[in-house]
Amino acid sequence: MPWSSPPARLRRWAVTSAVAIGAVHAVSGATAPSISSALDVQVQVSTPFTYRITINQAWTLNSFDAKPLPAGLSLNKRLGIISGKPTAVGTNQITISASQDNLPDRTLTDTLTLRVTAAPAPPLFSLDPMSTNVLDGTLVTLTSEAIGTGTIGYQWFTGFQFRGNTFVGDPIPGATNSSLTVRAGSDADTGLYFSSAHNLAGTNFSAAATIGVVLKPTIDYQPTLLRLHAGMSSQIYVSGYGGAELNFQWQKDGKVLTGETNNFIELSPVKPEDAGKYVAVLSNLAGQITSDPIVVQIFDPIRLQMTHTAPGNAVLNFNTIPKSDYSIYYLDQLSGGDLFWNYLSTVTAASTNVSRNVISSKPTRVFTVFPNF
């Protein structure tokens, strides 16, 4: 018979239908083709980065693309690997694609968000400890503050020296907070203090602060009498101690001398009106002390006279302050080259005038006198 029996026809239809039904079932249950690699990733600037473009289908991928890529990154178009070290902080929107033989129905595209963040850095100090001067026994709190990424730890140091741009000192045991409290009052508690701040990226140091202890002022040296010739240059000087911030104020004959706030007064040149009684008032937070009066006496300027007594001999006369020492110098050359005074002798004045015989083998000799005070 030219045609099949009904059972055979029925069986052929059933097989065909089964194939068709099976194919429909397979398509309806499949996942839609897409790029399966993460589409929102983060990396720190200047650190190594690797990213592979993948899909959720078993295609034979042989062509990839990614653009625009931030500076420092490149793409292996055959393997679909983006790698390198990004050089700039920012958020980048990158169009990525994966393809099998560049077939339109076998090409997948999506957007990768690449966030390049700042690399961790050592903390930076926003507040340095401040130097201070306090009374003996005072509690002093030094405060520092650092900003940075991650957890920041502190360590305080005392004493320092520079090595390059880094402070090096002795760590204070247990001083690991941003603030440090010490009691001023001994050499061990005065001096320089500084803090370090550290995180996973490294360590930085604060500026150094000084704790100065203010002690009650004392005077360890002062003259009681100055006898000077008018025209000289001299100083009235007092040496005192009082720790930090010791102030001086001079008075003359009971009146404050405006602007005289050093430990000395410069008298240059000395004038007759400079004679008088001077005192220095030393003060700080702990109190003040006044020096004993310093009596300044002013005498006439030194005047020299020469009396020739014989060839090559003469008598040198000059006025003096009794019980004071004077040195006599001479000069044989008045011009040309450097003038160098030669020492002749030293005399102690017994009265207000000195006469001294001088002998010279030179036709011309010049003499001068310097007081030794």
The model's pLDDT over 199-214, given as tens digits with 9 standing for 90+, comes to 988 999 898 898 888 8
- Helix, strand, coil percentages (3-state) for the chain, rounded to 5, are 10, 50, 40
* pLDDT recorded at residue 19: 27
Question: What is the model's pLDDT at position 102?
Answer: 87
Structure-block tokens of residue 289: 């002390």
Task: Report the candidate in 68, 75, 73 with the shortest Cα–Cα distance to residue 86.
Answer: 73
**191 dihedral zone (left: phi>0; alpha: psi -120 to 50; beta):** left
**Preceding peptide of 70 cis, ω within 30°:** no
- CA distance linking residue 281 with residue 289, whole number of Å: 6
Structure tokens belonging to residue 174: 């247990």
pLDDT tens digit string along 110-156? Answer: 999 999 988 888 999 999 999 988 888 889 999 999 988 789 999 99
Cα–Cα distance measured from residue 176 to residue 183, given in angstroms and rounded to the nearest whole number: 17
Other Cβ atoms within 10 Å of 174 Cβ, number? 8
Amino acid sitting at position 19: V
Weakly modelled stretches of the chain, pLDDT under 70: 1-30, 161-167, 186-190, 244, 335-338
What residues contact residue 278 under an 8 Å CB cut-off, 6+ apart? Answer: 236, 250, 251, 252, 265, 293, 294, 296
pLDDT for res 29: 43
Coil, helix or strand for 139?
A: strand
- The helix (H) or strand (E) run that includes residue 31 is none
pTM of the model: 0.53
Tokens 């004071």 appear where?
A: 324
What is the rounded distance in angstroms from the CA atom of residue 123 to the CA atom of residue 125?
7
235: amino acid identity, one letter? Q
Tell me the C-alpha to C-alpha distance, in Å, between residue 144 and each of 161, 174, 200. 19, 16, 19
How far apart CA 260 and CA 265 sit, in angstroms, is 7
Please state, as a whole number, how many other Cβ atoms lie within 10 Å of the Cβ of residue 335.
5
Assigned token pair, 258: 């405006």
302: nearest Cα among 201, 217, 214, 229: 229
Residue 61 contacts residue 52 (beta carbons within 8 Å)? no
Q: How far apart are CA 120 and CA 151, in angstroms?
A: 11
- Residue position matching structure tokens 């790029």: 35
Angle ∠(256,373,331) on CA atoms, nearest 5: 130
Q: How far is CA 300 from the centre of its chain?
A: 54
Residues in the chain: 373
Peptide bond into 269 cis (omega under 30): yes
The amino acid at 236 = I
